[in-house]
Structure 1
């Protein structure tokens, strides 16, 4: 997942640099024993940490230093400059840290520091659970389990997932992995050995039938009951299924799981043509990946512009032109009427050749368990600022959670991978009684060929879009505003400005 290190660049930090080469607030990349090292100076304090993000290898020199942290420019992971700890998803692994010595007006980087031995933190009185059950093996469920053990929680952790694979890097399933650019070992968030080593009971291919709130038990489909002291619902979302004639044929796919991605890859090896139904992020990422594999792709969607609802008309026009420039054929303001063995019939009357069909027409939160158990729901599971439901001790995170947004004052639900990871980590802390509000600014990224689009904030509607730069030149920043207030910011190749926008939103109370 992380990028490979090239030949070391910059000064050999073991030999030292002049203090004047690193001004206050400055950053510098050098190397120590062949490893790239980032030096950061904050007043009299100087830190030496790994120079690349532990997520996908983003260059931290191009990131943002805020207080005692550095943020990755690519996908907004955040690290502690003093300890290297990964503070914020999507990064999970810490950065290496080196000792620093100053003498004779020079800075020397010494030996790599050993990782400090973890120290168990006390849970708040009366809130120390013996067993925590996590329902869901996606981003939120995994992040909760990982954070619980990172916090040295000593009780039992049971993760129940109806998936056949351990938690995976889901964004990759429609991006590099589907395009054939990412190897298999990029996909698991952690190896299977991680769960055994950390005493996490991972129960795959296991369906939950009900929650017995009164008995504090999870009822499995086979009748087994699993007791819990604290529970996290992280059941995620499921693809909306087609209901048109022919939708149940084997060459019709959706994409949510690793198995789904593998089936599409297998089909693409012999397919000459594909029809993607839906011009969503998933649909268009699939279209880009299939074009990379040499498959002819037609995209069918009811809207006038792809992704206009989220990114506005200007970006929608750009995304359409980008895909058309890569050979994708659009059929907008149209929908599929039926699917045959080798073609899709549109409501406009046109017939499209289709050796394979991928439906990307949206997802819906999986709230059936919550509804049946009497948890409060409203187009998702309602939670408070601590991600706790109306039933004490039961939390929800990820695609199903609708939480109070501190900036808009509204209850929002966001289907973003990074949000789900960050909520899982926050829920884990709160199951340990830490009382931490979830205040993170939503963030996501989308990849189309070699063009990344970063988005921070949340805008379900706006009255103005300010465009800075040149969208067609792939150098731009868009501000989505309502009543003069910035709700969200989308960027292409303006990573530092995206990070600055995120920080400004975090600091805003409006």
Structure 2
């Protein structure tokens, strides 16, 4: 069943995906009422800069906002901030806020995102524990990253490694503790994981892999077998938990995320889910999947806006991620994996390089360092399922590695 030209759209979640959905609806000509509901006091903003430019003070918090505050009025989008949605009443077609206000909808978009996963072990009173998911998190953590501060980062995923890079840039002494045997175990092939490990070790980060933390204390962390690491700041970056409780309480299907089809629909024809909270249902050719990324938020917002405006949805882009660490821009697209043959172009020790991952003559994934143009070109080859001659894969222009500015 198709939702045809609703007169009112309510978006629950004033983050990147929710804000972009509202903008795209207007760009596609939607003339009805749009209401964006969020529990934070900030207007919709992007999260990637939080662990980089915002944390290091290079950019102010306002630089993360999707649009300037006055532009929401120009778009005729109502922002209702600082008041959480506590109930979805599907029978009435309305949501109820913590303030008891009831907001009706013709179409509802759940863009509730995810929250930082809490440390599962014991946390002592006074332990200096931080996470990094929101602007408020960044504002709380930034003043603690002082010169010579001892910073323990739990988790060697994107957030943990970016925080480590930013903290070192600010002069802190950083230890990263990871339960897996290498960083980004589920995302990075072994060879590239070794390169990123060397990047951090070469910049003074103390990396501890295959290590489990059991307790967070006021003066540091305690690991298995009684070993410990002294710390003035503890940053927990062990993943994110989708905020799917609201959907579950409303009787929608959830599975570590709200289950949706390729057009972001739940099984209720009037309700959609997008961004980090949305999980694509399994098909006969593809397993269920939930991706947390800037690109996913953008794609879902475009898709749901097109569906609600009766416009044609465009094909989704190849999955793409990026991270900036120690002055290096790292981009991944497709499915770089140890399952595929790898072809290296460039020299990892002397600047830009790219690694292509092939299954026969089909390009399945790519990782590039300081060569965004080459990654974009590879994305098109992956998208088009082009037949590749491995010998013809290009080498990126030689670009010297940028030296990361570090305090003396």
The reply to whether residue 391 of structure 1 matches residue 268 of structure 2 is yes
Name which of 69, 72, 90 aligns with 1:213.
90
- Report the CA distance between 1:310 and its aligned residue: 0.8
- Report the CA distance between 1:303 and its aligned residue: 1.3
1:420-477 CA distances to partner (integer Å, 9 max, x unpaired)?
A: 1221122112111224255222111011011011111246x65224031233334332
The reply to whether residue 467 of structure 1 matches residue 349 of structure 2 is no
Is the Cα contact below 8 Å between 1:288 and 1:449 reproduced in 2? yes
C-alpha separation between the residues in 2 aligned to 1:457 and 1:181?
31
Q: Indicate the larger mover: 247-256 or 204-213.
A: 247-256
Q: 1:141 to 1:249 in 2, by over 3 A?
A: farther
C-alpha separation between the residues in 1 aligned to 2:123 and 2:361?
48
Q: 1:361 to 1:154 in 2, by over 3 A?
A: same
1:109-157 CA distances to partner (integer Å, 9 max, x unpaired)?
A: xxxxxxxxxxxxxxxx982211100011111101101111222322111
C-alpha separation between the residues in 1 aligned to 2:94 and 2:127?
38
C-alpha separation between the residues in 2 aligned to 1:247 and 1:147?
46
- Report the CA distance between 1:184 and its aligned residue: 3.8
Name which of 482, 491, 494 aligns with 2:368.
491
Compare relative contact order (CA 8 Å, sep 6+) and give the higher one, 1 or 2: 2
C-alpha separation between the residues in 2 aligned to 1:484 and 1:378?
36
Gaps of 5+ in 1: 1-124
C-alpha separation between the residues in 1 aligned to 2:167 and 2:114?
24
Is the Cα contact below 8 Å between 2:363 and 2:385 reproduced in 1? no
- Report the CA distance between 1:316 and its aligned residue: 1.0
Give 1:420's aligned residue.
297
C-alpha separation between the residues in 2 aligned to 1:302 and 1:222?
42
C-alpha separation between the residues in 1 aligned to 2:118 and 2:68?
31
Paired residue secondary structure (1:420): helix
Matches within 5 A, 1:28-427: 127-246=4-123, 249=126, 251-269=128-146, 272-403=149-280, 409-427=286-304
Give 2:393's aligned residue.
none
Paired residue secondary structure (1:412): coil
1:58-82 CA distances to partner (integer Å, 9 max, x unpaired)?
A: xxxxxxxxxxxxxxxxxxxxxxxxx
Q: 1:205 to 1:137 in 2, by over 3 A?
A: same
Paired residue secondary structure (1:310): coil
Paired residue secondary structure (1:274): strand
C-alpha separation between the residues in 2 aligned to 1:509 and 1:468?
19
C-alpha separation between the residues in 1 aligned to 2:248 and 2:385?
34
After TM superposition, the score normalised by the length of structure 2 is 0.88
C-alpha separation between the residues in 2 aligned to 1:144 and 1:509?
32
The reply to whether residue 431 of structure 1 matches residue 308 of structure 2 is yes
Q: Indicate the larger mover: 494-503 or 246-255.
A: 246-255
After TM superposition, the score normalised by the length of structure 1 is 0.71
Q: 1:376 to 1:404 in 2, by over 3 A?
A: closer
Paired residue secondary structure (1:477): strand
Give 1:53's aligned residue.
none
C-alpha separation between the residues in 1 aligned to 2:280 and 2:314?
10
C-alpha separation between the residues in 2 aligned to 1:408 and 1:314?
29
How many aligned positions are there?
385
Please identify the structure whose Cα radius of gyration is greater: 1
C-alpha separation between the residues in 2 aligned to 1:474 and 1:348?
41
Q: Indicate the larger mover: 276-285 or 379-388.
A: 379-388
Q: Indicate the larger mover: 148-157 or 319-328.
A: 148-157
C-alpha separation between the residues in 1 aligned to 2:36 and 2:315?
22
C-alpha separation between the residues in 1 aligned to 2:341 and 2:3?
49
C-alpha separation between the residues in 1 aligned to 2:212 and 2:177?
6
C-alpha separation between the residues in 2 aligned to 1:405 and 1:195?
36
Q: 1:269 to 1:347 in 2, by over 3 A?
A: same
- Report the CA distance between 1:223 and its aligned residue: 2.6
Q: 1:479 to 1:308 in 2, by over 3 A?
A: farther
Is the Cα contact below 8 Å between 1:311 and 1:490 reproduced in 2? no
Q: 1:242 to 1:248 in 2, by over 3 A?
A: farther
C-alpha separation between the residues in 2 aligned to 1:126 and 1:245?
48
Paired residue secondary structure (1:308): coil
C-alpha separation between the residues in 2 aligned to 1:394 and 1:213?
9
Is the Cα contact below 8 Å between 1:386 and 1:438 reproduced in 2? no
